Amino acid sequence: MKIIGFVFALIFPSLSWAQDVLSPEEIAALFPAILPSDVFESPIDGFYEVALDTSIAYVSMDGKYILQGDLYSIDSRENLSDLRRAEIRINMINSVDHEKTIVFSPETKNYKIFVFTDVDCGYCRQFHRDIDQVLDLGVEVEYLFYPRTGPNTESWSKAESVWCSQNRQEAITQAKATGSINAQSCFGSPVSDHFNLGQRVGIRGTPAIFDENGIQLGGYLSPEMLIQRLSELDPS
């Protein structure tokens, strides 16, 4: 986890000036990768929350101790760290240029999901085969590119070709149905931005499906399982 990296990258000599309560700026100075804007109040008295993308730790306000692991509320039995990760995640997803995604919209939208997808991923292809059923259930699908093999690979080139096609919906449908697409290139492709975002979000496989609150619904879900999960999270 990234959090482990910055735990062991603490600038320990800085602790010599530890006070009873350090400012967010002073806490951030303990971690080379952390900015003051990454330091927040936490639900634990006497501790700050420190976030590196979606990795979270809790640091005592005197800068002497760090807690790594998920924080649970005994009263609500909620995983507070997961809720915070979801909040961070959706802020990151919403920061993308939504004019540079591929959106499939239903006639009546009840829910929206964000799907990081790879045209060469078997389960991504299965999900897209179900797209009409998903739309019929009132779920809008916004695709972001995540070619798992990374830059300078065939899957990456296919993602670029999909984006550079005149009709991107048809292109992604063809690429997922046949595994091939006419090679194309163009200026301003979002593939790299989407891929980097996916890495920051912590994607480990595709498809990676998130709701509008940043909660990861899972990998591949059938239309029935998807709408059930969305209904459970938002009964309204």
Compute the residue count for the chain.
236
Q: Closest Cα partner for 148 from 191, 187, 211?
A: 191
129 and 216 both lie in a single domain: yes
What is the domain count for the chain? 2
Q: Tell me, what's the pLDDT at 4?
A: 46
pLDDT in tens, 152-209: 999 999 999 999 999 999 999 999 999 889 989 899 999 999 999 999 999 999 999 9
Residues of the chain with pLDDT under 70: 1-19, 235-236
Tell me which of 56, 81, 106 is where a domain ends.
81
Domain that holds residue 32: 2-81
Q: Tell me, what's the pLDDT at 11?
A: 46
Residue 211 lies in a domain: yes
* Per-state percent for the chain, helix, strand, coil, to nearest 5: 40, 20, 40
67 and 151 both lie in a single domain: no
Q: Tell me, what's the pLDDT at 32?
A: 84
Q: Tell me, what's the pLDDT at 235?
A: 64
CA distance to 20, 40, 111, 222, 232, per residue, from 229 (Å)? 45, 30, 11, 10, 5
Tell me which of 53, 81, 109 is where a domain ends.
81
Q: Tell me, what's the pLDDT at 59?
A: 94
62 and 99 both lie in a single domain: no
Tell whether omega for the bond before 151 is within 30 degrees of 0, i.e. cis. Answer: no
Dihedrals phi, psi of 235, to nearest 5 degrees: -60, -20
Domain CATH number, residue 192? 3.40.30.10
Residue 88 lies in a domain: no
66 and 98 both lie in a single domain: no
